[in-house]
């Protein structure tokens, strides 16, 4: 079982996480209900309720933007993951198709308007991951963005005591090293929130992802989603 913790200096910023572990998925299954019903219905609901002009004023977007500004990061240049997905939907592009597990995570991210990360447990290489500030010069290979050097004002989800294994640059983008593939079997699900976004939103998001990974991809939950 993977343990997820938050360092004290991150907790004081009001950041929290909901997480779960699902074992034994088959990520090569067909999941017509996801693509034919759940994703289209959610995209349609987003377009009916939101607009690009007003998106930045939504609580779940504004709070993450405010945190980025507090850390000295421009959220218009390094957009929080859920905002980037919402903008994509509102532009009419629709959610990307990566693989079933990742697409489940993106669907839930847009539905609950929260950043979601899914990670291959076998590729993590440790049993404890921590949300902490990056170390100056720490390097990570980000999905779709190549290798980057990090600064100490950035937040990362990383294997504890291993500066070479980063799962995610918060709340922006996942690492290539622990990304979900078609051959992934065990999945760590992480949903991020920041006060004053209600914590039960993150818990419900993690719960739905967990249920869909089990229902659609034949996984087995290790334990109910938990908050840290």
130: pLDDT strictly greater than 90: yes
- Confidence band, pLDDT 50/70/90 cuts, at residue 195: very high
Q: Which residues of 158-184 are buried (b: 16+ CB within 10 A; e: fewer)?
A: bbeeeeebbbbbbbbbbbebbbbeeeb
163: pLDDT strictly greater than 70: no
Closest by alpha carbon to 225, among 14, 52, 21? 21
- Confidence band, pLDDT 50/70/90 cuts, at residue 65: very high
Token representation of residue 148: 């980057």
| Per-residue pLDDT at 145 | 78
pLDDT in tens, 135-158: 998 988 888 877 888 999 999 999
Q: What is the pTM of this model?
A: 0.95
- Confidence band, pLDDT 50/70/90 cuts, at residue 61: very high
Q: What is the CATH number of the domain that holds 220?
A: 3.50.40.10
69: pLDDT strictly greater than 80: yes
Average pLDDT of the residues in 29-44: 97
What contacts 123, CB < 8 A, 6 or more positions away? 177, 178, 179
- Confidence band, pLDDT 50/70/90 cuts, at residue 198: very high
Number of domains present in the structure of the chain: 1
Q: Per mean pLDDT, which range of 148-157, 163-172, 179-188 is the poorest?
A: 163-172
Domain region containing 8: 3-227
| Per-residue pLDDT at 203 | 98
CA dist 89 to 34, 52, 163, 173, 205, Å?
16, 10, 35, 18, 19
Percentage, residues of the chain above pLDDT 90: 89
| Per-residue pLDDT at 15 | 98
């Amino acid at each position: 079982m993977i343990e997820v913790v938050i360092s004290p200096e991150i907790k004081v910023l009001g950041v929290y996480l909901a997480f779960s572990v699902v074992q034994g998925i088959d990520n090569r299954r067909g999941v017509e209900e996801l693509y034919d019903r759940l994703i289209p219905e959610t995209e349609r609901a987003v377009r009916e309720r939101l607009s690009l002009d007003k998106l930045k004023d939504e609580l779940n977007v504004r709070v993450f933007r405010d945190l980025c500004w507090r850390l000295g990061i421009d959220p218009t240049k390094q957009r929080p993951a859920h905002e980037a997905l919402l903008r994509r939907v509102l532009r009419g592009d629709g959610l990307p198709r990566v693989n079933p597990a990742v697409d489940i995570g993106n669907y839930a991210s847009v539905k609950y308007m929260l950043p979601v990360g899914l990670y291959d447990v076998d590729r993590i290489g440790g049993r404890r991951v921590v949300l902490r500030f990056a170390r100056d010069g720490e390097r990570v290979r980000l999905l779709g963005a190549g290798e980057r050097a990090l600064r100490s004002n950035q937040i990362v989800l990383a294997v504890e005591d291993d500066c070479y294994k980063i799962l995610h640059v918060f709340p922006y983008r996942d690492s290539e090293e622990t990304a979900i593939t078609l051959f992934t079997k065990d999945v760590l699900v992480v949903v991020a929130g920041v006060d004053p976004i209600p914590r039960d939103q993150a818990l419900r998001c993690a719960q739905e992802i967990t249920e869909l990974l089990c229902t659609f991809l034949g996984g087995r939950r290790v334990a109910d989603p938990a908050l840290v």
